[in-house]
Chains A and B, each alone.
Chain A
Amino acid sequence: MGKHVKLTLLILLLVIAGSVFSIFYSLKNQPQNVPISQTSKYPLPVVNAGTTQTSTVVAPDGKWKLTMEEKKNKEGATYTFSLVDELSNSSKKIFTKTVPVGTTMALPLNTFSPDDKYFFIKETDSIQTRYFVLLASGQPIFNDSQTVEISELFMAKYEEYKITDITGWGGMNLLVVNVDKKEGGTGPSFWFDITNKSFIRLNDRFN
């Protein structure tokens, strides 16, 4: 083997060793949490920590406005309901609730009772939707509780039906409750009378 050949092989070995060291070094120092592929078919989880959203419903007579502020965090979300006097623009906090991730709260369009005395709100998780009625004054509605939960009361009385929707107020203190049969098929509508927490079965279905 000639002298030139030996030198060439030595240089080649040095280049290869240098390259291997360089690659190893760069891999070792790469941040561990960087995704390997930026074009993954699975969307990366996004946590909207600290984001706030507000929804508003104006009472049918235009005198009041109910706002729902949703503040998300890693554990879930906190919802704050406030009543705003449209004339004076003064605001009063009525109710606050914190729910886990996967549960959301909503203000229905027909949230206010016709006389603005009550309002109702929805809470939905992966299993069911719950409906709560509150006094717009912020006072307890029953004993020491600020809310009356309708779905629970209904299930205790009518096992054969499930609530599909509560659409609004059919009277000053009557909520329109639509139900379906648990075994399948459309059910009737009920009034839920908030004054005595009773259900009145109707002949008509309110779609």
Chain B
Amino acid sequence: MARSTSKSHSNKLLVFLVLALILVVSAYVLKKTLTQNICANSLSCELSLKLNVDNNTPGVFNGQEVSPPQIDLSKKDTPTTVLGETTVTGEKHIYVDLTTQTLSAYQADTLFMQVPVSTGKWFPTPTGDFTIWEKVRATKMSGGSGADYYYLPNVPFVMFFSNDKVAAGRGFSLHGAYWHDNFGHAMSHGCVNMRTVDAHKLYDWASPTASGNITLSTDNDPGTKITIYGETR
């Protein structure tokens, strides 16, 4: 009788251990799946990858209404002054330092621009080596919830980047930000926010060469490499 009770306890313990193991593994897989596939803009997600201009809807950021810039796609943007572009040759590379919240763009060893940026505060900006795979003149981005909810039409000069760990569909990008002016400090939901004037200049300089309002990188015109490093303070 005693032996039978002991066996029953052992079986219960075994079942409990197996269930606990299944629970832990499931939680790990779920967390990994969720964090690997979360879009940079949780609500607009893959819609943000497309060209979208809306000059009539106000935006929302930090609980406030914001006025998006008016964008007329029929008008060609004034090209930014690109000093030295014709004389400097070599590979282009963009570096984003999360610690100093600074973006530096080089062609070979020549510094093209160095400007303050705002990276992930409410969601981390991924680190590593990336490539620009798409450039879009303007799009809509929305996400967050509660006080962090944002809805931002006409986000200008968007340069989407990806690598083998961060899929293109997640929508991480460098882009202009018209809804705040706190550059040099973390302020985004994972993207790299730039002053609109700086984003315009980088958009004109970086590859693939913009042709029209949406441009994909190709084998003949590959995207500029981006290295994101450091740790947000």
Q: Would you call A114 and B197 a contact (CB within 8 A)?
A: no
Dominant SS among interface residues on chain A: loop
Residue of B nearest to A174 (CB): B62
> How far is it, in angstroms, between the C-alpha of A206 and the C-alpha of B63 when the chains are bound?
17
> How far is it, in angstroms, between the C-alpha of A73 and the C-alpha of B180 when the chains are bound?
37
Dominant SS among interface residues on chain B: loop
> How far is it, in angstroms, between the C-alpha of A3 and the C-alpha of B177 when the chains are bound?
106
Please give, as numbers and ranges, the residues of chain B lying within 8 Å of A167 by CB-CB distance. Answer: 182, 184-185
Most A C-beta atoms less than 10 A away, residue of B116, B181, B183, B195: B181
B53 at the interface (CB under 8 A from A): no
- 1/0 per residue, CB under 8 A from B, across A189-206: the answer is 001000000000000101
Q: Would you call B182 and A60 a contact (CB within 8 A)?
A: no
B178 at the interface (CB under 8 A from A): yes
| Residues 51-80 of A contacting B (Cβ, < 8 Å) | 58, 60-62
Contacts A170-B62, A173-B64; is A110 near B184 (CB within 8 Å)? yes
Q: Would you call A114 and B180 a contact (CB within 8 A)?
A: yes
Instruction: Return A49 CB to nearest CB of chain B, in Å.
Output: 35
Q: Would you call A109 and B116 a contact (CB within 8 A)?
A: yes
Please give, as numbers and ranges, the residues of chain B lying within 8 Å of A48 by CB-CB distance. Answer: none
Contacts A174-B62, A207-B186; is A113 near B181 (CB within 8 Å)? yes
> How far is it, in angstroms, between the C-alpha of A142 and the C-alpha of B183 when the chains are bound?
28
Q: Would you call A172 and B183 a contact (CB within 8 A)?
A: no
Instruction: Return A107 CB to nearest CB of chain B, in Å.
Output: 13
Q: Would you call B64 and A171 a contact (CB within 8 A)?
A: yes
Contacts A109-B116, A171-B62, A173-B64; is A60 near B178 (CB within 8 Å)? yes
> How far is it, in angstroms, between the C-alpha of A112 and the C-alpha of B197 when the chains are bound?
14
The size class of the interface chain B forms with chain A is 20 to 34
Instruction: Return B64 CB to nearest CB of chain A, in Å.
Output: 5
Q: Select which of B63, B66, B116, B233 is within 8 A of A114 by beta carbon.
A: B66
> How far is it, in angstroms, between the C-alpha of A114 and the C-alpha of B186 when the chains are bound?
16
Please give, as numbers and ranges, the residues of chain B lying within 8 Å of A112 by CB-CB distance. Answer: 181
Q: Would you call B116 and A170 a contact (CB within 8 A)?
A: no
> How far is it, in angstroms, between the C-alpha of A109 and the C-alpha of B66 when the chains are bound?
21
> How far is it, in angstroms, between the C-alpha of A25 and the C-alpha of B177 when the chains are bound?
76
Contacts A110-B183, A169-B182, A204-B121; is A61 near B64 (CB within 8 Å)? no
Please give, as numbers and ranges, the residues of chain A lying within 8 Å of B61 by CB-CB distance. Answer: 171
Q: Select which of A61, A109, A171, A204 is within 8 A of B183 by beta carbon.
A: A109
| Residues 104-150 of B contacting A (Cβ, < 8 Å) | 116, 121
A176 at the interface (CB under 8 A from B): yes
Q: Select which of B65, B181, B182 is within 8 A of A206 by beta carbon.
A: B182
A85 at the interface (CB under 8 A from B): no
Q: Would you call B64 and A168 a contact (CB within 8 A)?
A: no
A115 at the interface (CB under 8 A from B): yes
Contacts A110-B181, A113-B181; is A171 near B66 (CB within 8 Å)? yes
B187 at the interface (CB under 8 A from A): yes
> How far is it, in angstroms, between the C-alpha of A60 and the C-alpha of B184 when the chains are bound?
13
Chain B residues with CB under 8 Å of chain A are 61-67, 69, 116, 121, 177-187, 195-197, 200, 233
Known interface pairs A60-B177, A60-B196, A206-B121; 11 further A-B residue pairs with C-beta atoms within 8 A, sorted by A's residue number: A61-B69, A61-B196, A109-B183, A109-B184, A168-B181, A169-B180, A169-B181, A170-B187, A172-B64, A172-B179, A207-B186
